[in-house]
Amino acid sequence: MAGTRAPEAAEIGVAPVCGGRYSRPGDCRVGRGPYTSEAPGLGVSARRARAPPPFSVSSLPAPARGALVQRIPRPGETTLMPSEQQHRIGSEQQDRNGSEQQHRKGSEQQDRNGSEQQDRNAPESPAGAVQLNHTAVYARDPHRSAEFIAAVLGLEVGAPVGPFLPVDLGNGVTLDYYEKRDEPIQSQHYAFLVPDEQFTTMVARLEALGVTYYADPRHTEPGRTNRLFGGRGAYFDDPDGHNMEIMTRPYVRP
């Protein structure tokens, strides 16, 4: 038809094949095969392979060239179409939100489990019950006496609080060692309920310190332990003569 321009091969997206209606002198016809001639009426001998033309960005129309240049990735970079980029960003955001939510739930669950475990392990006491908080222990040398009982029981001596040197027993009770030099120290009795699996170790510590232990409170059975109330127990003196006791079972009271 007069006045109608033949479309370029690049404009309709197929490869040129020589000898067709869209060809110009020295050009090739548009066909369906990308690199071979499939024109009807031509023999098999006319079907010949053609090498693809070398690709060049400069050969593309300006709009296509600009769009392609925008999508060419830099070395080591992956470029996605806008819809793909948006989908990836959304997926990454969902992954982050999901991970943060899962981490937060896990932390909250651990906190709850830890609190529940701590509540189960804490000794039960009636509401409004009176509990011993601390007691003063007289000593000629508070540092020596505090370090002695801490070494036997496997505890630590705390920082001084005023004139007192504390040894925290780990159950809310503190032994506050207090210096007394001007008058004799009256012996007191302190009994410690200790874990059964630590009793033998504590006795070994007494032996290592050269301290004699006894099976009875009157100290008449040296080097022996008792089996009171189905547990094990022993008595010993601290550096100031206080009668200390370790036992694995509490006394059965009427």
3-state secondary structure 46-60: HCCECCCCCCCHHHC
Is residue 210 one of the residues assigned to a domain? yes
pLDDT at residue 48 in the model: 43
pLDDT at residue 114 in the model: 55
| 162-175 pLDDT tens trace | 999 999 999 999 99
Is residue 190 one of the residues assigned to a domain? yes
Is residue 248 one of the residues assigned to a domain? yes
Of residues 56 and 237, the one with the higher pLDDT is: 237
pLDDT at residue 101 in the model: 65
Is residue 74 one of the residues assigned to a domain? no
Q: What's 230's domain CATH number?
A: 3.10.180.10
Is residue 20 one of the residues assigned to a domain? no
Is residue 227 one of the residues assigned to a domain? yes
Best CA proximity match to 186, nearest among 220, 135, 139, 230: 139
pLDDT at residue 57 in the model: 46
| 183-232 pLDDT tens trace | 999 999 999 999 999 999 999 999 999 999 999 999 999 999 999 999 99
Is residue 1 one of the residues assigned to a domain? no
Please report, rounded to a whole number, the percentage of residues in the chain having pLDDT higher than 90.
Answer: 49
Is residue 220 one of the residues assigned to a domain? yes
Taken as a whole, the chain contains a residue count of 254
Q: List the beta strands (DSSP E) in 27-83.
A: 28-30
The mean predicted confidence, pLDDT, of the chain is: 74
Q: Are 235 and 244 in contact (CB under 8 A)?
A: yes
Count of structural domains within the chain: 1
190: containing domain: 186-254
pLDDT band at 235 (very low <50, low <70, confident <90, very high): very high
Q: Which of 56-70, 119-133, 187-201, 239-253 has the lowest mean pLDDT?
A: 56-70
Q: Is the pLDDT of residue 252 over 50?
A: yes
